[in-house]
Structure 1
């Protein structure tokens, strides 16, 4: 198998050295039945043997908790075989922490123990002591004496993703309701709600006062929040809305003879929200004041941000429709309000990407905005309401990690810093409040993930590109200087197998100027004189960008490619992480899905690589990608010929409120119906497969069933694959196998192997999920 694949790679490489061939000389790939069976067999083998073939792709560094003078990590020397390395952070010197074989042989056991069997390794360099866990027991090991001691039951340890999303503690979700304890911080006052009204008890005098009389069980007062000095209580007169239910039937629950009806509250676009009318109570003064602001009718009770003197607070407000964002200042004595920040836009403000960091000591706020066309940070003076741009340029701030109020510095991540680099690559930077001193701590070309030492003097920088293996470095946070390269991921075992590696590709978008980024997966066994059909893995959700940027040794896209396809993934206009103009394409226009850019990209790919057959293009996607996949057939049948749409949100009126109103706007306009796959189902051309789980709580299953109903009424042919008992899904292993069969049948025009015939289909079964 290895030799065949290696020869295939050589053949693929020869492709670029045959300049005499023209497009006309490339013959479309239409395999015989026997050839496709062989491809399936090789495909299943590759899916298996490519697992765990890259070593040290993601190392997890642990720090000496006392002074961070050293750190340690597990180095994978063979698959699932480790040794531990200590790093001196002062000079970057690396040494082996202990002899792993000696430690393993010291463990009293009748079974063979390997390094993968031990965990929670803690190295105390000062005492020359190793703590570790094996078989749910904790041991101490002294390497110099080769002595092991059982300490007892292992302590619980929460799994840590060493390169998870970094986020500062002051971030919150505006979708989460805010409330504090009913007892004031100084314990002097206790607030209670009875019959919908507020009563406050003085815990010292045991006297109680009723502050409201118009509350009821239906329209009550609640969402209480005390000021830090316990002199002020924020409350709201709440008029709740009970969300309507969506329903689905679980058709195949074990032990039943009937379908089980399920329901859950589900807010759809246009549905009403609970409202909050804000009041301020001062119990020492026995005074209640209505805050002079509009009733809050979008999101729940907001987070309260107190000024140092506790006489003023601010809260954030996003108007429904996502076209106005305010930070409102409130005077607790008078109830007067002022807009510290009042930003409006003709399209949308991406609420989920708003960054706000409050500095009460200096009466400042660090916030983000795209008002100059790029996501940048601003310093706001809450007294004067003046804003100063901190970061600037044709690049974006992705997130803020932390703020140093003493040094007046911000630690943040950014994309697009370098014109010659992929603009989606994330870098980690530091800058002063006044916009000076910008320092990229991670300047190497790649997508970076960092983890700081506890004292934030050092960082571990792991970076890679989609086709360049990860490198992990120890760096100084002060200077960005590289102390040492910890590990470079070992890909030799994967290279030996001979699979085709994923490649980045860039082409111009619809405006002829903007670069559109994507990736391409090719079969490992390519005929240099053959044209292969294209399958696009599509997800055009405006909430993010989706083309992988980290090293990707093997994936489902490559697995599909091995059957004889060119598989691509593209971020077209309308997705996030670029300029505001790039993103705004999606406004009231989800149906666009970046298709003009995607089609041009694939055509440009065919111009560079004649083995790309643009006459046979398919696409597949899940969730919003399912909507996009079917949408491609409906809106661009001249280009896309086959699609697999899994659990698609095919009609933005039926899908979840928060996602759809963000991009399609509020109130619900006629464009919602005009862009619905249900509305446009009668336009279907080409081959379509619909997949849906009948227990989908994310996108109501009825969305897919409504599409099926519209197709049936229009007399259209399509494949339909319901997955009993499954939630939001692409069908799992079974659905992914059926997806491959679908594209083999409709793009390669050959009957896939019969999964019901063991002689005809001698492959591993995929009927699990």
Structure 2
């Protein structure tokens, strides 16, 4: 039976502790990030505030330094109290001495002397400079041009410019306004994001020059500036789908010693997402060539090109054309899976056979061998051993029970000798140092934190690293989610998701359901690993007495090409919301304690679009929605989503990917939340939906957050509390408590 749930401050406090920053502290070591040292046979990582050093050659794992001694020495030198269990150090570098940043300065720790010494200058800003591999130079931007400075004294020159022709909106080293997170960087007090790539021999710089001169502007108004003065205007260049003018990018090579400039000689690339900037790399031990991806504006053609750094001439090595997108990776933002070997051969990832597999092209491009094949996909290349003619990779889809689970595999470059090095139910998220030779494997499930180990090339354990448990989470009432399989709306396609039971679960009760949605289509939401992209929010809903679900319907990434392309031409269905309904109904039949007559949905960004879409398109099923930072009208959103993932930018095509025409369908409860300085999915998209709802004479709720950008950094605690309370009122049917969440920790960028 269903009974009213009256929540208290303690329920909200417990839900707060489920959120990602607090949850992570209770499972230290569940997401280690190896930091490779120069020789490649050692690395360090951080567990909480402890630093661990691993030596692969002698199979040892130990504290990277004496934390107590360093804390004592830093306390004396800085005149700030420091304890070993909470070292306030960032930007850590291991070398002849340990160097780090703390209290706004840079420090060196001498293990022998047991002292901390303040170094000259302020702490380095990783967003403002990029150091050369030999650490002799640092590149930075000034007035849109590229400068370098000698790190320490070098030839008596402190700094000098390598370019002098930057213009407003036609400059070097930056990102496009529309995807450059400028509002977030401004909020954090950091300069705009900066990216260049040094050649391996530290003599040259590869840098993008982005042209936004002809782009139309959008204006954001900061209503409540910190100084209390007049509202402040912020302008951004923001091209939209179907518009002729788009940002373009070309490559430039700068020689530090000769101070020469070599420019790309062929046409610029249309740039609709910042991943294009990192899809270029130096090849060869000294940087004999540059290779980069060139993608057509509609994303149906993808080319690998070679750039001669001495002349700027380019050569197209591989060209692939598709009827829909030709993706370079399984998910947007993954490292590109194209690699030029020392032999000149090219390893290339493609979905040409309907899956995602590796192909080996001969150096002249005349011969191609399919290296991997089958109804599964390569998710990541780990390392290539050219002498042994072997490669190691992560594969998804080898396990029949869950196509998202990754396994570590090895294969010969001629396609023979396929070997699975892992054969279990765990999801393996492995990485390898640039030189290869071994793997750091982080293996988990959605309910089991990652067990991390160093593996050799045969998959044997060399060093055990971390094996965290969940006792501290369970003490708060947490229980692991259930990984489930359901059937899509077509009645045949298996889809997957996660189900969180409410805290204090009683199967005799009936619980309302909240879906935490993100529909892609560039990625997927409900993966099988412990640290997935739900940020602890479903666990918080479970703490508040809801059943929570996350579902990946057809049209999302990570499986076959056909599965992904289900959303192409139908982006408006938001990752197949009909699949989500089918899955929740199936779960309701499986578990009578799920009340599928009381279903809510919430999400942020594309999830905000999907949440509003759900309550507008399927009002008989979704009763309550909270849509945060939603791109509610993709016809006036970032160019990429409509042109790459929908394909139809006619008036009718753009109307099909907008929530605005559906406003008259609203029957349930809808809360719209948006930051006024969102320069990604601009606030005008929510306001267009608001305008349509008013014209349709519909009741709804809205919160506009002054000074907030797309992720609502610094204001998450407010929008989360408002979201929780909205569901408590309209799904539980009771008044929420007066509890107020604390501001979440600010992101540790560059730490």
- TM-score of the aligned structures, taking structure 2 as reference length: 0.73
CA contact (8 A) 2:608 2:627 kept: yes
**Equivalent position to 1:521, from 490, 495, 500:** 500
1:152 aligns with 2:114: no
Q: By how many angstroms is 1:149 displaced?
A: 3.5
CA contact (8 A) 2:324 2:568 kept: yes
Distance (whole Å) between structure 2 residues aligned to residue 194 and residue 443 of structure 1? 54
**Equivalent position to 1:750, from 696, 710, 734:** 734
1:124-147 residue CA offsets vs partner (Å, 9 max, x unmatched): 9xx9x99999986544345xxxxx
- Alpha-carbon spacing, 1:152–1:440, altered in 2? closer, same or farther (3 Å): farther
- Alpha-carbon spacing, 1:712–1:450, altered in 2? closer, same or farther (3 Å): same
SS in 2 for 1:468: coil
CA contact (8 A) 2:483 2:528 kept: no
Match for residue 413 of structure 1? Answer: 394
1:140 aligns with 2:72: no
- TM-score of the aligned structures, taking structure 1 as reference length: 0.71
Distance (whole Å) between structure 2 residues aligned to residue 57 and residue 621 of structure 1? 25
Gaps of 5+ in 2: 127-144, 148-161, 168-209, 251-263, 747-751
| Segment of structure 1 superposing worse, 701-710 or 662-671 | 662-671
Match for residue 320 of structure 2? Answer: 343
Q: By how many angstroms is 1:350 displaced?
A: 2.7
Match for residue 423 of structure 1? Answer: 403
- Alpha-carbon spacing, 1:508–1:158, altered in 2? closer, same or farther (3 Å): farther
Q: By how many angstroms is 1:325 displaced?
A: 3.3
Distance (whole Å) between structure 2 residues aligned to residue 524 and residue 498 of structure 1? 6
Distance (whole Å) between structure 2 residues aligned to residue 768 and residue 101 of structure 1? 25
- Alpha-carbon spacing, 1:130–1:690, altered in 2? closer, same or farther (3 Å): closer
CA contact (8 A) 1:734 1:768 kept: no
Q: By how many angstroms is 1:406 displaced?
A: 3.9
SS in 1 for 2:634: coil
- Alpha-carbon spacing, 1:36–1:247, altered in 2? closer, same or farther (3 Å): same
SS in 1 for 2:567: coil
CA contact (8 A) 1:137 1:150 kept: no
Match for residue 590 of structure 1? Answer: 571
Match for residue 488 of structure 1? Answer: 467
Match for residue 225 of structure 1? Answer: none
Distance (whole Å) between structure 2 residues aligned to residue 74 and residue 329 of structure 1? 38
1:200-258 residue CA offsets vs partner (Å, 9 max, x unmatched): xxxxxxxxxxxxxxxxxxxxxxxxxxxxxxxxxxxxxx998611011222222234454
CA contact (8 A) 1:270 1:666 kept: no
1:645 aligns with 2:619: no
Match for residue 28 of structure 1? Answer: 2
**Equivalent position to 2:512, from 509, 533, 542:** 533
Distance (whole Å) between structure 2 residues aligned to residue 510 and residue 428 of structure 1? 32
- Alpha-carbon spacing, 1:512–1:157, altered in 2? closer, same or farther (3 Å): farther
CA contact (8 A) 1:390 1:433 kept: yes
Matching of residues 675-714 of structure 1 within 5 Å:
675-714=657-696
Distance (whole Å) between structure 2 residues aligned to residue 326 and residue 72 of structure 1? 37
Q: By how many angstroms is 1:494 displaced?
A: 2.6
CA contact (8 A) 1:326 1:341 kept: yes
CA contact (8 A) 1:91 1:483 kept: no
Distance (whole Å) between structure 2 residues aligned to residue 304 and residue 462 of structure 1? 27
Gaps of 5+ in 1: 1-26, 143-147, 161-178, 182-189, 196-237, 279-289, 754-760
Distance (whole Å) between structure 1 residues aligned to residue 742 and residue 291 of structure 2? 59
Q: By how many angstroms is 1:613 displaced?
A: 0.5
Q: By how many angstroms is 1:663 displaced?
A: 0.8
Matching of residues 58-97 of structure 1 within 5 Å:
58-59=31-32, 68=41, 89=56, 92=59
Match for residue 231 of structure 1? Answer: none
Match for residue 457 of structure 1? Answer: 437
Match for residue 222 of structure 2? Answer: 250
1:52 aligns with 2:25: yes
Q: By how many angstroms is 1:540 displaced?
A: 0.3
SS in 2 for 1:702: helix
1:170-195 residue CA offsets vs partner (Å, 9 max, x unmatched): xxxxxxxxx999xxxxxxxx999999
Match for residue 114 of structure 1? Answer: 84
1:656-688 residue CA offsets vs partner (Å, 9 max, x unmatched): 002321111154351211331112211212110
- Alpha-carbon spacing, 1:745–1:130, altered in 2? closer, same or farther (3 Å): closer
Q: By how many angstroms is 1:692 displaced?
A: 1.0
Q: By how many angstroms is 1:322 displaced?
A: 2.3
RMSD of aligned Cα (Å): 5.1
